Amino acid sequence: MVEYWEQEGLRTDWGAHVSTPRVDYRTLFAATPSPYLVLAPDLVIVEVNDAYLQVTGRTRDELVGRYLFEAHPDNPADASADGVRNLAASLNRVLRSKEPDTMAVQRYDLAVAGRPEVFRPRWWSPVNTPVLGPDGEVRWIIHRVEDLTDFMESRPLRGEPGLIDGTDDGLEAELFTRAQDLQVLNEELRGAHAWERRTALTLQDAMLHSPDLAGHPEIAVRYMPATRSLNVCGDWYDVVDLADEKFTIAVGDVVGHGLEAAAVMGMLRSALSAAVRAIPEPGKAMDVLSGYARTFEGALATTAAKAVVDRRSRRITYTCAGHLPPVLARPDGDAVLLDQATDPPLGVLTDQGPRPQATVPFTPGDTLLLYTDGLVERRGEDIDTGLLRLTDAVAEHARLDPDDLADTLLTRLGVADGGTDDIALIVVRL
């Protein structure tokens, strides 16, 4: 018996591994009882199994190498046919999201073999699954279907369309109808969501446009909405040139995500940008912004940090409204938090006078960072731990150019592909 196990490459019953059998995946695929076909990203059929050929009545030569919807077009005699549209939408979702997509039961008529002008009603339950290559991109899509034609044709709706008669048959047909209705609604919602996202991104790009940034090759910015959001957010950054070889940088964080937060972000960013041109002192400019924030509810508790860089005097004047402190790093690896001018968030009334501001000297070659909390905050972790992680990373890589340093920080802090919160980051080589 052991000799038999050894020949077959199996394990003994006491767990000793004898050898590993070589799996013939092509044979397994061909023998799988569920109908499968494999699509390339351009939706050309690259492989089919025997079950798929049997259920569709086609041969490999009729399918492999053909565009899916040329091999299986909609029934031209049925004006309401939507099989191609529904399946194409699902496959495109898979290509975009790189996630499997399960479809509601579909009516997708197929041409009778040898009679391409004659279509027979067919009902399917499809699942589309991406297969990713080493680069993380979709290399193939596995299209699995179950043929429900016999089941559906054995349970017709009785009576008037849209009515059920109380029998199991009527209930099943009604459930199918509702599933179809839900799919149509889901497609409409997906379309509305995509339109809303495109609109929001266009508006956000316009609101974040910083024309003075183009004149500062020594400044790198990064802007990363939270991975769970619509890719629009309430964080912002800004760069504004002032007179006498001065410029100002700022970041801010509006509570929340999505369109409402992005709209508030745009108003506050524009207001601060205008204020700093008239009032170059960052503390006073932040006071003006705080008063403006009190005029609408969505801006309350917004945090912001602002710094004015004076290249003539080699000094930085900064202020923080409830925001995490900027970081100033020396080329020798010393990195410190600028935490001597912190006040409550925007819109919060206090008994104090003007918002504080502090001034520190810098040396050419130093690096200044402003950022939002998504860069350093982690659930269940003290904020000081995140700040220490940031200053250590900046100190270690302070000699990198601003763009490389920005990317390195995102990687070192584990958010190179986005995080659970929005991130805005400005890196300035002084």
Please name the residue ranges forming H helices in 165-303.
Answer: 168-207, 258-278, 282-293
Of the candidate ranges 40-49, 282-291, 292-301, the one whose mean pLDDT is the lowest: 292-301
d(CA 387, CA 381): 11
d(CA 190, CA 194): 6
Nearest to 422 by CA among 237, 298, 220, 248: 237
Give a yes or no: residue 16 inside a domain: yes
248 shares a domain with 134: no
**What tokens appear for 429 in the block?**
């080589």
Give a yes or no: residue 205 inside a domain: no
Report how many domains make up the chain: 2
Nearest to 324 by CA among 384, 405, 276: 384
CATH number of the domain to which 118 belongs:
3.30.450.20
Amino acid identity at 214: A
Rounded to a whole number, what is the distance in angstroms from the first to the last CA of the chain? Answer: 78
HSE of 203, CA atoms in CB hemisphere, 13 A: 20
243 shares a domain with 115: no
Largest distance between two CA atoms of the chain: 92
Q: Are 396 and 333 in contact (CB under 8 A)?
A: yes
Per-residue pLDDT band at 203 (split at 50, 70, 90): low
185 shares a domain with 310: no
Give a yes or no: residue 204 inside a domain: no
Question: Whole-number mean pLDDT of the chain?
Answer: 81
140 shares a domain with 7: yes
Better-predicted residue by pLDDT, 24 or 251: 251
Dihedral sign computed on CA atoms, order 296, 209, 195, 104: negative
Q: Are 106 and 86 in contact (CB under 8 A)?
A: yes
CATH number of the domain to which 267 belongs:
3.60.40.10
149 shares a domain with 24: yes
Q: Are 249 and 285 in contact (CB under 8 A)?
A: no
d(CA 98, CA 114): 36
133 shares a domain with 86: yes
DSSP letter assigned to residue 23: P
214 shares a domain with 153: no
Domain hosting 389: range is 210-429
Most confident range (mean pLDDT) of 33-42, 299-308, 310-319, 408-417 is 310-319
Of 171, 199, 227, the one marking the end of a domain is 199
Of 135, 166, 199, the one marking the end of a domain is 199
Q: Which residue bears the tokens 């199994």? A: 49
Nearest to 126 by CA among 147, 151, 144: 144
Let me know how long the chain is: 430
Percent of the chain whose predicted confidence (pLDDT) is above 70: 78
111 shares a domain with 214: no
263 shares a domain with 144: no
Better-predicted residue by pLDDT, 354 or 131: 131
Please name the residue ranges forming H helices in 39-82.
Answer: 50-56, 60-63, 68-71
**What tokens appear for 220 in the block?**
């790198």
182 shares a domain with 239: no
DSSP letter assigned to residue 67: B
d(CA 104, CA 1): 49
Of 143, 169, 199, the one marking the end of a domain is 199
d(CA 237, CA 9): 62
d(CA 248, CA 316): 9
Of the candidate ranges 36-40, 78-82, 95-99, 409-413, the one whose mean pLDDT is the lowest: 78-82
Give a yes or no: residue 29 inside a domain: yes
271 shares a domain with 185: no
Per-residue pLDDT band at 186 (split at 50, 70, 90): low
265 shares a domain with 118: no
Give a yes or no: residue 376 inside a domain: yes
